Amino acid sequence: MSLRLGDVAPDFTAETTQGTVKFHEWLGNSWGILFSHPADFTPVCTTELGSMSKLKPEFDKRNVKILAISADPLESHNKWIGDINETQNTTVTYPLIADPEFKVANLYGMVHPAVDKFTVRSVFVIGPDKKIKLTLTYPASTGRNFDEILRVVDSLQLTANYSVATPANWKHGEDVIITAAVKDEDIAAKFPKGHKRVKPYLRTTPQPNL
């Protein structure tokens, strides 16, 4: 199954380290991040789960719920979380889905077609409307950049509420781009902080929600 941006994220019910999760119901009116791992006790993923754990307070501030998934059973997950907490100096408090039958992995197209029953390392950012806003897939050898995922969430939440886009390498607090849908004569009313006209098609303004 190939999921595209704008598709409704498939709903599912799964057992996790924090009990049964009915995904859409669990998400509620929050944003969500679903990120997958090939197996427990893998070195790169151990650092990733730890990194996400340390950043969880920042995602909490942005009303983003975190949900991880690995194909191993719950007993294995609980032992692995102990290792993560020990080696990464953190305490994992978000749920980790047990998916030994690859039900959720197949639903989201996480199983590598060339390697039977190998869950790829994917990230899905899902909006409160339950639609997919971002997908990323990483090779096994490269650890994911969760600061980048946080940056993308900032951009997605900003651009969902204002007629702006974010430029290359944008970070929270920096100027943004006014979208082409906004006419020049309407800019002053929409963006009272002022704007800069670099080119007719490139107009910038201070971040409007600060």
User: Which domains, and CATH codes, for the chain?
Assistant: 13-144 (3.40.30.10), 162-205 (3.30.1020.10)
Instruction: Report yes or no on whether pTM surpasses 0.85.
Output: yes
Q: What percent of the chain has pLDDT over 90?
A: 88
Q: Kindly indicate the confidence band of residue 115, based on its pLDDT and cuts at 50, 70 and 90.
A: low
| Nearest Cα to Cα of residue 16 among 77, 104, 63, 101 | 77
Alpha-carbon separation of residue 13 from 31, 100, 128 (angstroms): 18, 14, 18
Q: Are 28 and 63 in contact (CB under 8 A)?
A: no
**How far from 140 is each of 1, 98, 113, 120, 121, CA to CA, in Å?**
21, 20, 15, 8, 7
Under 8 Å CB-to-CB from 186, ≥6 apart: which residues?
none
What is the rounded distance in angstroms from the CA atom of residue 153 to the CA atom of residue 203?
22
**Per-residue pLDDT, 66:** 98
Tokens of 17: 């380290």
At residue 135 the predicted structure's pLDDT band, cuts being 50, 70 and 90, is very high
Q: Are strands 31-37 and 64-70 parallel, antiparallel or unpaired?
A: parallel
Among 14, 21, 45, 105, the one annotated catalytic:
45
DSSP β-ladder status, 132-138 and 121-126: antiparallel
Residue 1: what pLDDT? 54
* Amino acid identity at 66: I
Q: Is 102 a catalytic residue?
A: no
